[in-house]
Structure 1
Amino acid sequence: MKRKPVVIGVAGGSGSGKTSVTRSIYDRFKGHSILMIEQDYYYKTQSHLPFEERLKTNYDHPLAFDNDLLIEHIQALINYEAIEKPVYNYSMHTRSEEVIMVEPKDVVILEGILVLEDERLRDLMDIKLFVDTDADLRIIRRLFRDIKERGRTMDSVIEQYVNVVRPMHNQFIEPTKRYADIIIPEGGHNHVAIDLMVTKIQTILEQKSFL
């Protein structure tokens, strides 16, 4: 039987704690053959648009992502082929000229708000997770993050949340919960769920003789 990596999808709303869950799983397998792919790197290039038009981009909509390239790259990693991961330049609101070489590994964690939205992506996953956190906690976390790390004002974060993030979450992200094999409440703070996930991944890796 042909060797095939374990592909894990981790979805959830902005501020849900999906990155913490992903990081926790990754850290438990540090030293083993594991890599992370963030969907945020796969926003479509907008170099053909004037800068003023790029500013209007809705980054929480499925059409903002270049899923064709992401799927091509996940399939390459499944075939144990290296990829050139794109880099997105948020200050210019378009894809950078830079790329990051990524070597294939035995465990691939794909993390992002909409990784469960595209059926073609879901079909490549062995395990599908959805990190489910109450909206009030998600907006608080987003406020802290965007003000502290991205230099945003409170007013701009709240305006974006009310006008874009919240409606997009309800329309596109929340419905993908039904595709998840496992729903993890409260993100990275849910140590029991993360322990269960790690045990499950270990079992799969042992079955495939990776560990």
Structure 2
Amino acid sequence: MSISLPPSFSYTLPASNVFVIGLAGGADSGKEAFCRVLIEQLQKNQVVDSSKALLLHLHDFYRELTEDDRVRAANGLYNFDHPDAFDWDLLAQVMDDLKERVATKFPKFDFATKSRSYETRPKDLESPSVVLLEGIFVLYSQRIRDRLNMKLFVDVDDDARLVNRVARKVAEPSPDSVDHILTEYIRFVKPAFDDFIQPTKKWADIIIPRGVENITAIELITSHAADLLGRQQQPNSTRPSRINSSSTVLQEMLSTPTSNASSTCPSPRSLSRTAVLNSAGGNNGSDPCSRSSLNSSPIPRKDVLSGSTDSLYKPVPE
């Protein structure tokens, strides 16, 4: 029995031998924690060692702020939760340098000073086998999506993300007041998620409910990366691919007995264009034969800056 996999999924290691995983999701959904657990599992399973796994943060690729921007940021009026706040050209260049194994400098954004500096990684990190890029808008830009071999989306409840945000902000060395945190959330964070981040879920190969708590998703992704990197390191190996093997973790979790193996429509529990993983298995609630909901649609845009202190962050037509 074969498994129906997302058509956009990259089944082979790219020619550059660098496997790039992109992880998107709402603010404070635990994206960085998920990436770190995934790296630990890759190392634990001897897929890569510590010098061959690189974690990039989208928030380090914020644009340089002008003096006016700094004034707005100091007054809580600069919107860091908008696609236009990021330097997509710089991110694309760094990703290309990594794939081409060209020495590059990595940006580092300091939120205290609202300034960007650059750092050079140790030489043993210049040629990673696995690169993980995490951030709220990782799946927003097609230029970046085209550079990803695996696209993930962490799906965490809005209330849980707000609780995580409040807990994180009040625990910082210079904590914000709860009123400030909630105002920022209402003005920038929540509208950005609804208008920009949530729509990018359709580009994900795998949607991960509950984030880092979803052990099943971590095992699946680790297994897939191990399969690709393992075959690349052992080109003469006759070991069958886990994706095609009838005894794989993938099939145990996602396949079900069927009396019509030749059916052109995959089983409801087969991986569809967007695979939703949870510990109990199951599908994403949509018709596996339907692709109408997957058609690309334009994502609305907004001004990166709010107009005045008491103005709410509202859509502006193009």
| TM-score greater than 0.5 by the shorter chain | yes
SS at structure 2 position matched to 1:167: helix
CA drift of 1:147 comes to 0.8
Q: State whether structure 2 residue 130 is matched by structure 1 residue 111.
A: no
Cα 1:187/1:2, change in 2 over 3 Å: closer
When structure 1 is superposed on structure 2, of 184-193 and 51-60 the one drifting more is 51-60
SS at structure 2 position matched to 1:116: coil
1:136 partner amino acid = D
Taking only aligned residues, the RMSD between alpha carbons, in angstroms, comes to 1.9
1:95 partner amino acid = R
C-alpha distance in 2, partners of 1:123/1:34? 20
Deviations 1:3-38 (A, max 9, x none): 420000000001112112111111123325111111
Match of 1:198 among 214, 222, 225: 222
Aligned sequence identity (%): 34
Match of 1:92 among 113, 116, 136: 113
Q: State whether structure 2 residue 61 is matched by structure 1 residue 61.
A: no
Query: Which residues of structure 2 form unaligned runs of 5+?
Result: 1-13, 44-48, 236-318
Cα 1:130/1:2, change in 2 over 3 Å: closer
C-alpha distance in 2, partners of 1:162/1:100? 37
C-alpha distance in 1, partners of 2:127/2:217? 27
- Which structure has more strand as a fraction of its residues? 1
Residues 11-50 of structure 1 aligned to structure 2 (within 5 Å)? 11-30=24-43, 31-32=49-50, 33-49=52-68
SS at structure 2 position matched to 1:131: strand
2:22 partner amino acid = G
Query: Which residues of structure 1 form unaligned runs of 5+?
Result: none
Residues 145-160 of structure 1 aligned to structure 2 (within 5 Å)? 145-149=168-172, 151-160=175-184
C-alpha distance in 2, partners of 1:8/1:25? 11
Cα 1:45/1:182, change in 2 over 3 Å: same
Judge conservation of contact 1:46–1:54 (CA < 8 Å) in 2. Answer: no
Give the TM-score, by structure 1 length.
Answer: 0.93
Judge conservation of contact 1:47–1:94 (CA < 8 Å) in 2. Answer: no
- Which structure has more helix as a fraction of its residues? 1
1:99 partner amino acid = E
Give the TM-score, by structure 2 length.
Answer: 0.63
C-alpha distance in 2, partners of 1:154/1:183? 31
1:122 partner amino acid = R
In the alignment of these two chains, the number of paired residues is 210
CA drift of 1:163 comes to 1.2
C-alpha distance in 1, partners of 2:204/2:53? 21
Cα 1:163/1:156, change in 2 over 3 Å: same
C-alpha distance in 2, partners of 1:165/1:58? 9
Deviations 1:187-206 (A, max 9, x none): 11111111111111111112
C-alpha distance in 2, partners of 1:47/1:89? 15
When structure 1 is superposed on structure 2, of 129-138 and 155-164 the one drifting more is 155-164
When structure 1 is superposed on structure 2, of 81-90 and 45-54 the one drifting more is 45-54
C-alpha distance in 1, partners of 2:69/2:91? 25
Deviations 1:79-116 (A, max 9, x none): 112221111121222223x4243623010101100010
C-alpha distance in 2, partners of 1:182/1:151? 35
